[in-house]
Amino acid sequence: MGEIYAKFVSQKISKTRWRPVPPGSLQTAETFATGSWDNEENYVSLWSIGDFGNLDSDGGFEGDHQLLCDIRHHGDVMDLQFFDQERIVAASSTGCVTIFLHHPNNQTLSVNQQWTTAHYHTGPGSPSYSSAPCTGIVCDNPEIVTVGEDGRINLFRADHKEAVRTINNADSSTLHAVTFLRTPEILTVNSIGQLKIWDFRQQGNEPSQILSLTGDRVPLHCVDRHPSQQHVVATGGQDGMLSIWDVRQGTMPVSLLKAHEAEMWEVHFHPSNPDHLFTCSEDGSLWHWDASTDVPEKSSLFHQGGRTSTFLSHSISNQANVQQSLISSWLSTDTTKDRIEITSLLPSRTLSVNSLDVLGPCLVCGTDAEAIYVTRQLFV
């Protein structure tokens, strides 16, 4: 991996997200958003890692990220997602969900849309109103799904003032994260180790499927779906374990991988290179999981087989090979442990790494030690 740049930013970073590059464009990621938490004043900020001609001469600034603009955010930023190129959705510990709009002309952020009481314990109408933190959001233009400590699931549309759909008491415990499985199905993880699939086509407040870790009820903190194989899901738990699930079969994880020493806060498949997975944790580590290491070996075996054997066996081996590559490399349980190569990406352990995001060859992560780390050469 290439150089990793650190910058101290005087605020604890809870979330980091790359701005998506326009579809079909060849440019690499160069703008990312961050959210802060636990400060007296919290901010949503946009940063650029683009080249600044005037600073390059100094040498030291090359690769460093510069603040483009920021805006006050009421409460801790609990989650952050890009809705599209210009809009960012932020979840707040006050139960509020806000869409911020970026104006590239004068480099400012403004509030575009806000649902102030998206998550609450006691209703907004009542005198004893008490809000609940919104813990997770997921966007799929035009829809936004939010979950919270109140166990509620909301479905918003960017152009609607009210929630399109709300599932009250969807979960008896805290919902920690949410992701789309295949529209209109979503997947949530909660604090008692359950993974629930919800189908918005169904009325009622029951999930269509519940999967869970056995026995220990270890809370799950994050979830990500394989970008191309929609049934493959990765989750990270309080004990730092990485679990891989096949939601088509069984109610238990396909594999459990011992990973970090404390809470795994985020897990991400690489969007275009899904044999690579990234995790970060409260123990201050950031890991790169590479399940593709056997690929060159496999193809060379295949070539050997092709040369030495008859046409028939060739075609068989070919077929087997195709099938194997169709089964995600994350699901073949027996050999998983031997085949995955893990590298630690941060030079030294720091305080908790709260969030990470990958896009193309770029990775960004943010820590409680108030530093943002960026690398632009993940696969060197």
Partner 1 sequence: MEELDGDPAVTLIPGVNSKKKQMCFDWGPGEMLVCETSFNKKEKSKLVPNCPFIFIIRKDEDVYSQILRKLFNESHGIFVGLQRIEEELTGKSRKAQLVRVSKNYRSVIRACMEEMHQVAIAAKDPASGRQFSSQVSILSAMELIWNLCEILFIEVAPAGPLLLHLLDWVRLHVCEVDSLSADVLGSENPSKHESFWNLVTILVLQGRLDEARQMLSKEADTSPTSAGMCRTLGDLMRTMPILSPGNTQTLTELELKWQHWHEECERHLQDGTFTSSPHLETLCKIMLGDEAALLEQKELLNNWYHFLVTRLLYSHPTVKPMDLHLYAQSSLDLFLGGESSPEPLDNILMAAFEFDIHQVIKECSIALSNWWFVAHLTDLLDHCKLLQSHNLYFGSNMREFLLLEYASGLFAHHSLWQLGVDYFDYCPELGRVSLELHIERIPLNTEQKALKVLRICEQRQMTEQVRSICKILAMKAVRNNRLGSALSWSIRAKDAAFATLVSDRFLMDYCDRGCFSDLDLIDNLGPAMMLSDRLTFLGKYREFHRLYGEKRFVDAASLLLSLMTSQIAPRSFWMTLLTDALPLLEQKQVIFSAEQTYELMRCLEDLTAGRPVRGEPDAQRLQDDDIETTKVEMLRLALARNLARAIIREGSLEGS
Give the footprint of partner 1 on this chain (CB under 8 A).
Answer: 8-12, 37-40, 76, 78, 93, 121-122, 130, 132-133, 135, 149-151, 169, 171-174, 191-192, 194, 196, 210, 212, 215-217, 238, 262-263, 282, 348, 350-352, 368-371
Nearest distance from residue 282's CB to partner 1, in Å? 6
Q: What residues contact residue 184 under an 8 Å CB cut-off, 6+ apart? A: 199, 200, 201
Q: Which is nearer to partner 1, 199 or 370 (CB)?
A: 370
200 SS3 class? coil
Nearest distance from residue 370's CB to partner 1, in Å? 5
Q: What is the largest CA-CA distance in the chain?
A: 81
Residues pairing with 352 in the sheet: none
Nearest distance from residue 106's CB to partner 1, in Å? 19
Q: Distance between CA atoms of 161 and 142, rounded to whole angstroms?
A: 13
Nearest distance from residue 41's CB to partner 1, in Å? 10
Burial of 85-113, coded b for 16+ CB within 10 Å and e otherwise, reads eebbbbbbbbbbbbbbebeeeeeebeebb
Nearest distance from residue 202's CB to partner 1, in Å? 17
Q: Which of 6, 17, 34 is nearest to 351 (CA)?
A: 6
Q: Which is nearer to partner 1, 113 or 191 (CB)?
A: 191
Nearest distance from residue 369's CB to partner 1, in Å? 5
Q: Which is nearer to partner 1, 36 or 113 (CB)?
A: 36
**Pairing outcome for strands 242-246 and 97-103:** unpaired
DSSP-derived secondary structure for 131-185 = E--EEEEEEETTEEEEEETT--EEEEETT-SS-SEEETTS-SS-EEEEEESSTTE
Q: Which is nearer to partner 1, 340 or 364 (CB)?
A: 364
Q: Which is nearer to partner 1, 361 or 366 (CB)?
A: 366
Q: Which is nearer to partner 1, 27 or 54 (CB)?
A: 54
